Structures are given as structure tokens and as C-alpha cells.
Structure 1
Amino acid sequence: MTATADQILSEIREANLSYLMLAQNLIRSDREQALYRLGVSEDTADLLAVLSPAQMMKIASGNTLLCRFRFDDELVWGLLTNHGKTTAANDATSRLHASIVLAGRHQEAA
């Protein structure tokens, strides 16, 4: 079954609202972790933290997806997908390595 354009737009709006709600909760509960996990600037975090529910609904209702992948290189994807290896130790090590790479990129962007 193929999704219609209306279904896709509805899913984008739902994802946007979920993302905004998650972002706001993260920022309010642990700002430093939120900045890292969301990959947003201090200014963006300030803005997200004070959005009203009505503002979030309005922003979410657009047809553009608000969240995006923060990495687009094969190294990080390879680490996250674990190069096809399935042992628990390899999985944990690969995810830790990916987190370190992403944390370094977050520091470079800040």
C-alpha cells in the first residue's frame, strides 16, 4: 500500500509535534544533555523551552519535517549499524564509538 500525499503530510505533522514536545521536555529537564542529544544551539534551546502548546501546534502543522539526521557519513552509520556484526560486546563498543564521534562534532559546532 502506498501512502498518499495527505497521509505523508499528516505523518510529518505528527512527527513535528512529537519532536517539539520531546525537545521541550529534554531542555526543561536537563539542558546540557538536551543540547547534545538534539544538536541545537543555546538560542534554539531558549526558544523551544518557552513555546506554548498553541505555538508548538502551529509550528508542527507545517509541511516541512523539523528534525533531521545529524550525521551523514558512512563512519557513523557503519558504527551504528555495527557493520553486520551481532555480538553484544561489538554492539556496545560500536555505539560508544559513534557517541564519541558525535560528541566531538557537537563540540566543534559549539
Structure 2
Amino acid sequence: MTTQRTEQLLADIREANLTYMMLAQHLIREDREAAMFRLGVSEEVADIINTLSPAQLMKIAASNTLVARFRFDDEMVWNLLIESKRPQGPAQDSPYARLHARILVASASTDAI
């Protein structure tokens, strides 16, 4: 990878980090319980994110590592999510696939807390 491409990738990561941290803080301030569920974070982490100053947000965002991560790594959940987005046909039961995926994601987020 060229130096320019590496620098662009790192800049993209920093931008994603800042966007994620700002969104997380906004969600927590708007509806703490829903934010904790949606973000998959504990009360302690929600408290920390809520109290971060703009300078602290920028410092965290400056990391070369993504702050956010996928909340699930189960192939079944990914397949259910993919199936629920495909065009509907008579043999597909997409509402159930979406519901099943939501249940699995919700249970994974409570396991992480």
C-alpha cells in the first residue's frame, strides 16, 4: 500500500471514530437506555462517553484503530440480515428472518454487557 493510500485510510478511520463517538454521545444524552442497547455498552461506558469533552472526543477519534466494532460475528446473523434485504418471493419469510436476526443481535448485546 502506498504512503498516500495509507494516510487516506488512517484519515478515514479517524473520521469514522469521530462520527461514531459524536453519535454515541448524542444517543446517550437523548435516551440513555435505548443508546446503551443500540450501542451495546454498559452503564459505566455510557457514563464515560456522556462526560467526554470535545477535546477528549477528538483525542479518542485520533486513534489509528477503529473505536466501533461489529456487535456480532455469527454467520447465521449475517445471513439472516442479508436474506431480510432481498426481494420478497412466495417462498421467503423475510419478516421472520428479520425478527430472528434482531433477537440474536439483542441477546448478543446483553451477553456483552
> Would you call these one fold, judging by a TM-score over 0.5?
yes
Match of 2:103 among 91, 100, 103: 100
Instruction: Report the counterpart of residue 81 of structure 1 in structure 2.
Output: 82
- How big is the alpha-carbon RMSD for the aligned residues of Structure 1 and Structure 2? 2.2
| Identity percentage of aligned residues | 54
**Partner AA of 1:104 in structure 2:** S
Per-residue displacement from partner, 1:33-78 (whole Å, max 9, x unpaired)? 1111111111110000011111101110110110011111111001
Tell me the distance in 2 between the aligned counterparts of 1:50 and 1:83: 37
Tell me the distance in 2 between the aligned counterparts of 1:108 and 1:5: 35
What 5-or-longer segments of structure 2 have no aligned partner? none
What 5-or-longer segments of structure 1 have no aligned partner? none
Within 5 Å, which residues of 2 pair with 1:1-110? 4-82=5-83, 85-87=86-88, 90-110=93-113
Is the Cα contact below 8 Å between 1:19 and 1:67 reproduced in 2?
yes
TM-score by length of 2: 0.85
Q: 1:102: how far off?
A: 1.3
